[in-house]
Amino acid sequence: MTDLFPEKGHDHGRCIDSALRQAEDVAEANNARFTDMRRRVFTLIWQSHKAITAYELLDSLQAEGVRAQPPTVYRALEFLVGLGLIHRIESLNAYFGCDMPHHEHLGQYFICRNCGRVAEAVNDDMSSAVHAAARAVGFRIEATTIEIKGLCHDCATH
């Protein structure tokens, strides 16, 4: 069994570096400016594998000495979501970093209620079940929200 969630003692600095590198690539490929503010917000989101709320981000920015207001944060979030660099978790009103921003995908999110971590899956069986169900009732899909709450393997077994 492969756990979607990162290993306990993994080198998270590498996650952050890799995410930043990919984000810069994607931004460049889209002719979009990965400004300082956007980089700050993105980096804060990647401080953990948990989802983080807009106001938690705002607090962190202010703690760093950045004079930011809610619109600043929401604009950065809008930009990052728009490029697919982060995803919004509807059931948490929170955001977390995507680790495969290069290809378009409809992801599914596993959310552990104990450790708070979020993991993204791109599972064809889930996707095709959803699309088949939609086709069967003549529904034209534009967006999907699939959020699965419970206990991750670590939290369920320890």
Partner DNA sequence: GACGAAATGATATAATATAACACTTGAAGA
Partner DNA sequence: TCTTCAAGTGTTATATTATATCATTTCGTC
Residues forming contacts to a copy of itself in the complex (CB under 8 A) are: 1-5, 90-91, 108, 110, 112-113, 119, 121, 123, 125-126, 128-130, 132-134, 136-153, 156-157
From 4-12, 25-33, 39-47, 128-136, give the range in contact with Zn ion by CB under 5 A. 4-12
67 contributes a contact to DNA by CB under 7 A:
yes
Contact between 108 and 148 (Cβ < 8 Å): yes
Q: Is residue 79 near DNA by the rule CB under 7 A?
A: yes
Contact status: 33 vs DNA (CB under 7 A): yes
Stretch touching DNA by CB under 7 A, among 13-21, 71-79, 102-110, 132-140: 71-79
Determine the Cα–Cα distance for residues 43 and 35; give it in Å rounded to an integer: 12
Q: Does 15 count as an annotated binding residue?
A: no
- By beta-carbon proximity to a copy of itself, the closer residue of 63 and 143 is 143
Smallest separation (angstroms) from DNA to the CB of 3: 28
In Å, how far from its chain's centre is CA 29? 20
> Which is nearest to 126 in space by CA: 149, 150, 151, 109?
109
Integer Cα distance of 77 and 131 in angstroms? 28
Q: To which residue do tokens 């599914």 refer? A: 108
Between 42 and 110, whose beta carbon lies closer to a copy of itself? 110
Distance of CA 49 to CAs 15, 103, 127, Å?
A: 9, 20, 23
